[in-house]
Structure 1
Amino acid sequence: MKTFLLLLLLLCPASSAVNHTLRYILTGSSGVSALPAFLAVIEVNNIQIGYCGGDIFGPKQDWGQTVAENDPDQVEWYRHECNENKTRFFNKTISTLKQRFNQTEGVHILQLMSGCELDDTTGQVSGFLQYGYDGEDFITLDLNNLTWIALTPKAVITKQRWDTDRGRIRFDEVLLTRRCPQWLKGFLHYGEKTLLRTDPPSVSLLQKTPSSAVSCHATGFYPDRALMFWSKDGEEIHEGVEHGEILPNHDGTFQMTVDLNVSSVPEEDWRRYHCVFQFEDKNRTITELDKTLIRTNRVKPRTLTVLLIPAVVCVVLVVMVTSGCMVHKRRKNCRPPSAPENIAELSETLNPPT
């Protein structure tokens, strides 16, 4: 299982573009002097919209002020959670775990990722809440059975103690399945231009050499919840296909690549293949595998004959002039000329002005 720290760093996007996610990422630390003891980030659809840490608290988007004006109670709840409840809770929990694991020194980090996912087509809501400690998955809340699940043997004692706090479990259930979706809908409403924007990709076919794979490269698209694949006769194919990761561009958009091995594809069958880019709830961008559309940066090498002709001509002419002078040396006291520095000089030597 991937560590919880890696999960927070990667923050995998939702599986469907019609799903919207409100995510809270909270981090408490001990022994890290360069960071505040507590940090919190709020994200909607993987876009940071709020932050608190140290003495800083507030929205990260221009439209966040509109949220504060229309729902001050929500903002006050965030402020209270950041400055009081969560700070004390994280400090106390880290101290407890350090004592339990006999950790007296070093850096120790407690992380929480919680929130909800909303399917705006079906209205289905799913909540999630999971803790990690020192880079490992630690404990998660099962909202179906309203019980904690220990993700490591180290968390068994914590599970047993937290399971007895039924009030806290009920509070988390209401927060994640009722209040969280309401807040998410509000964010989507006020931040529609940012959170729901869609930028289509620019798609190109690239190939390094005639024998290498053809890369279908899409760039400039937004959001990053997109699919790209190769198809044959309208059906997605997997053999000979290699998918690249979705990578960020400097302007906030994204790019991705999917390669197709064409070494075994007959030339007459190329047009049966297509590169398909798709936002999962939007129209597709389809690009035919056409040799005339492929771009390459390879340079055709100059032939050996072309490279040798000037040199051969120069040498032959020098030999001819030198030999001519040697034949008539006694009669004309001719001296062999020095080799010209370039073709122009040689031309003047052989064709003096009249």
Structure 2
Amino acid sequence: MGSTGPVLLLLLFLLSPAVPKKSTTGPYSLSFFYTGLSKPQKGTPRFWAISYLNDQPFFRYNSLRSEAEPLGKWAGLKGLQNWSEESLLQQFREDYFMITLKDIMKFYKDPAGSHTFQGMFGCELRSNGSIGSFWKYGYDGKDFIEFRTDLTAWVALDPAAKVTKSQWEADVEYPQRARHYLQQECPGLLRNYLRRGRHLLDRKEPPAVFVTSNTDLKGNMIVKCGANGFYPRDIRLRWTKLKSRMELGSQGATLPTVNGTYLASVAMTVAPGDRTIYTCHLEHSSLGEPTSLIWSRPMWELSGRG
């Protein structure tokens, strides 16, 4: 197995600007996710990467275009990153991924099989001033190897990973450089991005609230209270009967939208003939105080049922 890990990390150091430490509130995070395929389908890249700042897609790269492309609102910030250098770095990472994937397949004597190699690493600037980090890889959906900063060593989680660990740590300085990257270089990059784009992560966009309904086969009305276009992600939606605190229904998953905001909803079931007045309550950090909407079954529908 080739010793591409140390070479890759050295290149990463050379392309990373030196950024002085700076106080922050946070938490803020910078993370990278990679996928390599041994036998991609026609038109599918063999390798792709995506980076996030907090929960916001920051840039993407794939082996078909071989270019790092800023995403969303980050594309409009000048001087945020040298994208030509970032493209070069991602090209090296692509080569690194595919070499490692092939070596794992050889270890398991399946050089022609269809397999997946994935990796993720990143860092976090926490509200209390501490720094968090992670760096790990997976093979065919199972844990493969991870870096432990407390041990300053790679920990093999798969038989083939023992070979990878041996090769990567043949350079005795590599574990120290990996630890330095997670604890110094990555936070430095994150601070640099925050200096130019913190406002995009700290922004607050209020939700547009709506109520929809439909009737099931038993005549029950399924009433949904939804919120759309809000940021940040955390939101609370709940139904109650008027002047009651008992919550009805359950809030569904909060989902991302194409413009970097989120949508969420809570649904409840209203029986035929139910004349109760219900209230949808919504709490979000963009709102000065909780807001609510009142809903009841339309009177014409009640009278129409006799």
TM-score by length of 1: 0.61
Counterpart-to-counterpart distance in 2, 1:250 and 1:91 = 30
Q: Unaligned regions of 5+ residues in structure 2, if any?
A: 1-24
Residue 196 of structure 1 corresponds to which residue in structure 2?
202
Rg larger for:
1
Q: What is residue 228 of structure 2 aligned with on the other side?
A: 219
CA distance in 1, matches of 2:288, 2:158: 43
The two structures, once aligned, show a CA RMSD in angstroms of: 3.9
Give the one of 27, 40, 62 matched to 2:75. Answer: 62
CA distance in 2, matches of 1:238, 1:173: 50
Residue 106 of structure 2 is aligned to residue 105 of structure 1? no
Choose which of 77, 82, 98 in structure 1 pairs with 2:90.
82
Give, as a single letter, the amino acid of the residue that structure 1 aligns with 2:192: G
Is the Cα contact below 8 Å between 2:239 and 2:268 reproduced in 1?
Answer: no
The 3-state SS of whatever aligns with 1:191 is helix
Do the aligned partners of 1:52 and 1:82 also contact (CA within 8 Å) in 2?
yes
Moved more, 23-32 or 57-66: 57-66
Q: Pick closer, same or farther for the CA change 1:180–1:297 going to 2, 3 Å.
A: farther
Cα distance change, pair 142–187 in 1 and its aligned pair in 2 (3 A): same
Say yes or no: does 1:256 pair with 2:264.
yes
Write the distance in 2 (CA, Å) between the matches of 1:76 and 1:175: 21
Question: SS of the residue aligned with 1:56?
Answer: coil
**Matched residue, 1:52:** 61
Residues 1:245 and 2:258 are matched in the alignment: no
* One-letter amino acid of the counterpart of residue 300, structure 1: E
Report Cα offsets for 1:242-265 as digits up to 9, x if no partner. Answer: 2211123454432101345788xx
Percent identical residues: 25
Equivalence for 2:236: 228
CA contact (8 A) 2:255 2:262 kept: yes
Relative contact order (C-alpha < 8 Å, sep 6+): which is higher? 2
**Residue of structure 1 in register with 2:290 after alignment:** 286
Change in Cα spacing, 1:187 to 1:59, as seen in structure 2 (3 Å) is: farther
TM-score (norm 2): 0.69
> What residue is the counterpart of 1:39 in the other structure?
48
Matched, 1:115 2:125: no
- Give the distance between the partners of 1:298 and 1:30, measured in 2 at CA: 62
How do 1:1-354 and structure 2 match up within 5 A? 18-32=26-40, 33-54=42-63, 55-60=65-70, 61-68=74-81, 78-84=86-92, 86-119=93-126, 121-152=127-158, 155-159=161-165, 162=168, 165-205=171-211, 208=214, 215-223=224-232, 225-230=233-238, 241-249=249-257, 251-259=259-267, 275-279=281-285, 285-288=289-292, 293-294=294-295, 300=301, 303=304
The aligned length equals 268
8 Å CA contact 2:238, 2:250 repeated in 1: no
Determine helix, strand or coil for the equivalent of 1:105: coil
Paired letter, 1:243 = Q
Q: Is the 8 A contact 1:206 1:295 kept in 2?
A: no
Look up the match of 2:6.
none
Q: Secondary structure at the match of 2:253?
A: coil
SS at match of 2:235: strand
In structure 2, C-alpha distance between the alignment counterparts of 1:206 and 1:144, rounded to whole Å: 52
Q: Which residue of 2 aligns with 1:343?
A: none
Deviations 1:295-329, CA, capped at 9 Å, x for gaps: 76897277589xxxxxxxxxxxxxxxxxxxxxxxx
CA 1:286–1:205 in 2, change beyond 3 Å: closer, same or farther?
A: farther
Amino acid at match of 2:95: R
Mapped to 2, the partners of 1:166 and 1:148 lie a distance apart of 12
Q: Which runs of 5 or more structure 1 residues have no equivalent in the other structure?
A: 1-16, 306-354
